[in-house]
Structure 1
């Protein structure tokens, strides 16, 4: 099987890289071992949200100069990072994904617990506020779903009440959900959405929200609608006559899954080949180039590509493997950022920034992976498998994925122009 580009990993980084390449006519394959981490995502995308002292960052581009030399943003440089972020925003828009936010200034999004978190982009259904500003409503209703355990309106209400907002809580009851409600293991956000997205049930939901809305200025629901009908929330707002907002639930997350579905659909519409449920087992190299990739499902039939992109994720996706005394990258045996002593992998307090979150693959300044310090010239490393940054405490996981994905695609396209 021959391709222009083979991408290992079908998450945010792999898909957006593949889309950019496919837009320019490259024949791409994405080899995806399992469920994307997007299924566990809030749907919001961080670029650079927090300093090491935990303070929120207002203007993220202005903070790039403060990052460590190993951070992927530092490797690429501020001008390149800004340009790649703008390209990523364009690409997401072309996939039909609509966000609130701007690279010049972070905003605050409401979490399922009612707290506010600084971020770059949020789905337009998510309630947001400008940094150091209150939410735009004085009185809101947080509405749960009877029997749905993955969102507790009282918890969110308690946090928002502390911010000076008058909050009431209630539960809606839609008879169409009764069958799901009888089986708690099936009563999850995605299954609820498949029921509520049906036009007749969306109308019943609107009637229930009208009943509950009273004199509040806005209603906040768990994200359990709009998976397969992107206009469902717009229809609810029109019927209720007030803002109807969504917050993510415990995984699986509707907002994250919707993003993954939109990206995969766009990639395949452009002619990309998506290979789900397959895992890369090993690769062969000649000199400083990757020549063949062998996968679980295709056994002795190799994937051959001029360029290879590793977007396999971190420990969660087995892009990195931790044994008792070592951390390693399993496909190419790439150099990694780590700590030699296991005792240095973690901090005693679970609330502290954990050193292992900065572990990941080392690259040169063009994001080529290295083995024993030597670059593999046709292998690019992108996304969560990269080392040198903490996606949680710094709030930059999605930004790193999007920026490095666009950079790798740009480098590959530039090589094609030179060859032509």
Structure 2
């Protein structure tokens, strides 16, 4: 099978790159092993939250203080503002609606009751301009009886510093009795599917209105609508008080819904999405990747003019660590990381961990290096790149989006 471009990895990075290329008329395929980091989506995409441990207000301005090996620096700060605008419009064209600006972080309330700086927030969620204030004085935190993935006590304790009077109440509904019998089935996605059917919204809204009497705001877990994008909006219209949705423990309903939306956009543009498949090997010749073979397609070879590796970091097994080595498991590409295991991590868990900055080595055009030489038609994007600690910086989604768009631009030149 022959394509213009083949992307390895079907998460945020791979889908962004695939959509960008498909919008330009390229025949593209994405090979996706399955679950990606977007299933941990909190409702917001971060661009840059901290530099050297200090919280930043203007991500674009603060990027100049990042080290030269950081992906943002390598993309080029002169390109970043343009790419952030392009990323937002790509997401909007796909059917996702966000609030936020690249030159000023806003804040969202986390499931721990802490205000966190971020870049783009889905319109399902509530964004705040200030970190140290909360616009309501009395809050009711509603949870589903038997739902253990929404930690209401953490939220209540976190709101104390805002001098908020918060109370926790549980909602019982007949629709959820069956899945409550097995605690492993009382998960976010199963609750969301019940609301997708449409017959639970009215009853839940009535109960929420009754339980929220005397309160200023209703706080709920973000478990409304897995496939139906309108459920959260319908619910907000039926509840008489402002509604504040907070993420629950993954799998993330908004994350899965966002990935489905992006995948549908890619396929509408003519893209081929190979779900549940893994790239087993690649055939190289004269510094180029000629073809790949996948686990599900046996002897069928996939050829392309250009390839993009967007396979993720350690979580997605885009990079693998054993007791004695680090390696990229598909092609054996060069890794920018220390081979001495003792240097991989700090024994103090909350310190900056070196392994978080490890990734595939590339040249200045984001082409992968193999044995020190660039593979001419294999580009790298997303968290499989090295040079950043997304967890400490609050930069993961931004790196995925912007490096993918940058890689696509290199291909389209």
- TM class by shorter chain equals over 0.9
Q: Distance in 1 between matches of 2:308 and 2:191?
A: 36
Instruction: State the SS of the aligned residue for 1:129.
Output: coil
Residues 34-65 of structure 1, C-alpha deviations (whole Å, 9 max, x = no match)? 21221122131111111222x21110001111
Q: Which residue of the partner structure matches residue 327 of structure 1?
A: 326
Q: Which residue of the partner structure matches residue 226 of structure 1?
A: 225
Residues 346-374 of structure 1, C-alpha deviations (whole Å, 9 max, x = no match)? 01111112110001011112111112321
- Larger deviation: 34-43 or 171-180? 34-43
Q: CA deviation at 1:10?
A: 0.3
Q: Distance in 2 between matches of 1:140 and 1:95?
A: 34
Q: Which residue of the partner structure matches residue 78 of structure 1?
A: 77
Q: Which residue of the partner structure matches residue 253 of structure 2?
A: 254
- Larger deviation: 251-260 or 118-127? 118-127
Q: Which residue of the partner structure matches residue 392 of structure 2?
A: 393
In the alignment, structure 1 residue 193 sits paired with structure 2 residue 231: no
Contact 1:118 1:131 in 2 (8 A): no
Residues 173-197 of structure 1, C-alpha deviations (whole Å, 9 max, x = no match)? 2221111111111000000011123
Q: Which residue of the partner structure matches residue 155 of structure 1?
A: 154
In the alignment, structure 1 residue 339 sits paired with structure 2 residue 342: no
Q: CA deviation at 1:199?
A: 2.1
Any stretches of 5+ residues in structure 2 without a counterpart? none
Q: CA deviation at 1:165?
A: 2.1
In the alignment, structure 1 residue 106 sits paired with structure 2 residue 109: no
In the alignment, structure 1 residue 211 sits paired with structure 2 residue 210: yes
Any stretches of 5+ residues in structure 1 without a counterpart? 415-420
Q: Which residue of the partner structure matches residue 179 of structure 2?
A: 180
Q: CA deviation at 1:133?
A: 4.2
Instruction: State the SS of the aligned residue for 1:316.
Output: coil
Instruction: State the SS of the aligned residue for 2:183.
Output: coil
Q: Which residue of the partner structure matches residue 23 of structure 1?
A: 23
Q: CA deviation at 1:116?
A: 1.6
Q: Which residue of the partner structure matches residue 306 of structure 1?
A: 305
Residues 174-230 of structure 1, C-alpha deviations (whole Å, 9 max, x = no match)? 221111111111000000011123222111111011111112222110111122222
Q: CA deviation at 1:92?
A: 0.6
Residues 327-360 of structure 1, C-alpha deviations (whole Å, 9 max, x = no match)? 1112222221111311110011111121100010
Q: Which residue of the partner structure matches residue 41 of structure 2?
A: 41
Q: Which residue of the partner structure matches residue 264 of structure 1?
A: 263
The total of aligned residue pairs comes to 413
Give the superposed CA RMSD: 1.2
Q: Which residue of the partner structure matches residue 52 of structure 1?
A: 52
Q: Distance in 1 between matches of 2:153 and 2:65?
A: 39
Q: Which residue of the partner structure matches residue 94 of structure 2?
A: 95
Q: CA deviation at 1:136?
A: 2.4
Residues 370-393 of structure 1, C-alpha deviations (whole Å, 9 max, x = no match)? 123211121110001000100100
Residues 274-306 of structure 1, C-alpha deviations (whole Å, 9 max, x = no match)? 001110111111112111111111222211000
TM-score for both structures, normalised by structure 1: 0.96
- Larger deviation: 177-186 or 133-142? 133-142
Residues 119-138 of structure 1, C-alpha deviations (whole Å, 9 max, x = no match)? 11111222332243412222
In the alignment, structure 1 residue 5 sits paired with structure 2 residue 5: yes
Residues 218-252 of structure 1, C-alpha deviations (whole Å, 9 max, x = no match)? 21101111222222122222222322121111111
